[in-house]
């Protein structure tokens, strides 16, 4: 932990990133409370010191939390270090710490009758550990490095997302409600609630008006006996949507230009409750062209990338599998989020897994050859690349949504990190 906190500090001699910091922390060989017992020896090559320190930290507490500061291989000064050993001479970024809370629970269940060990082979520079392989990677996004916010492209992404959202079916929830829940309750997709207003401002208005138009068409084509129940649910959706719009305008006053007025939504809802209201609403939508009017305002402001939306829409026409659409939606939300948050450090990549259809992201060189593992002693998932037999290269720590579900469990396997 101490080394991670000072990873961006500088030292005259790269060995001092170990000797100096551990000395200040009272964790050197002179300390009776230290399990590390690292003796100061400036004749040791830096790589040897870094490797033995990492092994000592891992074995002293039987945990692999040091993997969280391995950092980017591209920034390494000492290229001969094994993939599992941090280069303490350069700054490193810790990824996934906020997602550790499930890890101990998982390990507690899976290691119940198992006594894992950590072994180091100094000659081969391998670290042998225990873990579970959960899945392989299916789709991997392109790297996003220090993105610049381009308003036209950002809104193009957002409006393309709406096409997928309109195709998404989740039983038991209306489309408006399920998208709202997805954005508000999925902490993985949003990161923090600070992102909510910006993301909602991008695509909720368009999706809402599409949903209203589609709902009217659907109810009108339904069996007469089922219409009252469908209208009731539709009215509930509109009530919910009106509250959302008012909240958005309160949070982001400048978003009002893109939002259908809450009074308009209220009018539609109240009209539905009257006799013959469905036909009247259909007439309102047809004559006032609420959706087209809103889109025209967006186009006039130069905020809509028509080409991007068109290409995405064509792709959706050939993909009717709900699970695939949902995966696309998740990846797309992540992409929009990346465009909005101009604070990405290094190479951020999103991915989906093949068997369990999980969504995740990590910082490093991620490709389809990577596998998702959970290693004993490190309570977040990691991405490993098979090098042959039981040998694996450590690629990155990762955040993976849904990994901790009971059905995701696997068999304990002993592997060697190279």
pLDDT tens, per residue, the chain with 418 residues: 556 555 556 677 888 878 776 765 455 545 554 556 678 888 999 999 999 989 988 888 788 888 877 866 666 788 899 999 988 887 665 554 434 434 444 455 556 666 778 999 999 999 999 988 888 887 676 554 433 333 333 334 444 444 444 443 333 344 444 444 444 433 333 333 334 344 444 455 555 655 666 677 777 777 888 778 777 777 766 765 666 566 556 655 555 544 556 666 677 777 777 777 777 777 666 544 444 444 444 444 433 344 334 433 443 344 444 455 445 545 544 554 444 443 333 456 667 778 776 667 776 678 888 999 988 888 778 899 999 999 999 988 887 765 554 445 567 889 999 9
CA-based torsion, 316, 142, 367, 84: positive or negative: negative
Rounded CA-CA distance 376/388 in Å is 21
Number of residues in the chain: 418
Q: How far is CA 187 from CA 195, 196, 334, 383, 400, in A?
A: 10, 11, 12, 21, 12
Q: Kindly provide the residue ranges of all beta strands, DSSP E only, lying in 179-229, ordered along the sequence.
A: none
- Is pTM beyond 0.75 here? no
CA 331/CA 350 separation, integer angstroms: 7
Nearest to 166 by CA among 203, 141, 219: 203
- As a whole number of angstroms, the distance between CA 53 and CA 43 comes to 15
Say how far apart CA 286 and CA 289 lie, in whole Å.
5
């Amino acid at each position: 932990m101490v080394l991670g906190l000072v990873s961006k500090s500088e030292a005259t001699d790269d060995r001092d990133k170990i000797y100096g910091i551990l000395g200040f922390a009272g964790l050197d060989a002179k300390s009776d409370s230290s399990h590390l017992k690292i003796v100061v020896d400036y004749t040791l090559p830096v790589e040897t010191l870094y490797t033995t320190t990492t092994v000592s930290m891992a074995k002293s507490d039987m945990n692999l939390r040091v993997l969280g500061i391995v950092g980017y291989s591209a920034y390494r000064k000492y290229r001969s270090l094994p993939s599992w050993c941090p280069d303490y001479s350069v700054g490193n970024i810790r990824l996934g710490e906020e997602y550790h809370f499930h890890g101990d629970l998982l390990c507690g269940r899976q290691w119940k009758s198992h006594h894992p060990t950590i072994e180091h082979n100094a000659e081969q520079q391998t670290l042998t550990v225990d873990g579970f392989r959960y899945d392989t990677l299916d789709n991997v996004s392109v790297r996003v490095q220090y993105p610049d916010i381009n308003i036209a492209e950002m809104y193009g992404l957002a409006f393309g997302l709406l096409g997928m959202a309109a195709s998404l079916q989740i039983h038991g929830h209306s489309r408006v409600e399920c998208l709202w829940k997805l954005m508000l309750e999925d902490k993985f997709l949003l990161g923090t609630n600070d992102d909510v207003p910006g993301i909602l401002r991008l695509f909720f208005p368009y999706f809402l008006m599409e949903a209203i138009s589609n709902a009217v068409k659907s109810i009108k084509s339904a069996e007469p006996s089922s219409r009252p129940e469908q209208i009731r649910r539709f009215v509930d959706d509109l009530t919910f949507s009106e509250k959302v719009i008012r909240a958005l305008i309160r949070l982001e006053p400048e978003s009002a230009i893109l939002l259908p007025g809450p009074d308009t939504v209220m009018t539609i809802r109240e009209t539905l409750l009257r006799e013959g209201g469905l036909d009247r609403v259909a007439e309102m939508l047809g004559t006032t062209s609420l959706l087209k009017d809103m889109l025209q305002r967006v186009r006039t402001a130069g905020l809509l990338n028509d080409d991007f939306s068109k290409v995405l829409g064509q792709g959706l026409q050939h993909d009717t599998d709900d699970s695939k659409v949902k995966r696309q939606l998740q990846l797309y939300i992540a992409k929009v989020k990346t465009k909005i948050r101009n604070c990405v450090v290094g190479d951020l990549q999103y991915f989906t897994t093949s068997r369990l259809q999980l969504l995740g992201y990590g910082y490093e060189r991620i490709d389809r050859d990577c596998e998702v593992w959970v290693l004993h002693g490190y309570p977040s998932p990691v991405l490993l690349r098979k090098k042959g037999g039981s040998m694996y290269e450590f690629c990155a720590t990762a955040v993976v949504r849904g990994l901790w579900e009971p059905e995701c469990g696997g068999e304990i396997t002993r592997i060697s990190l190279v």
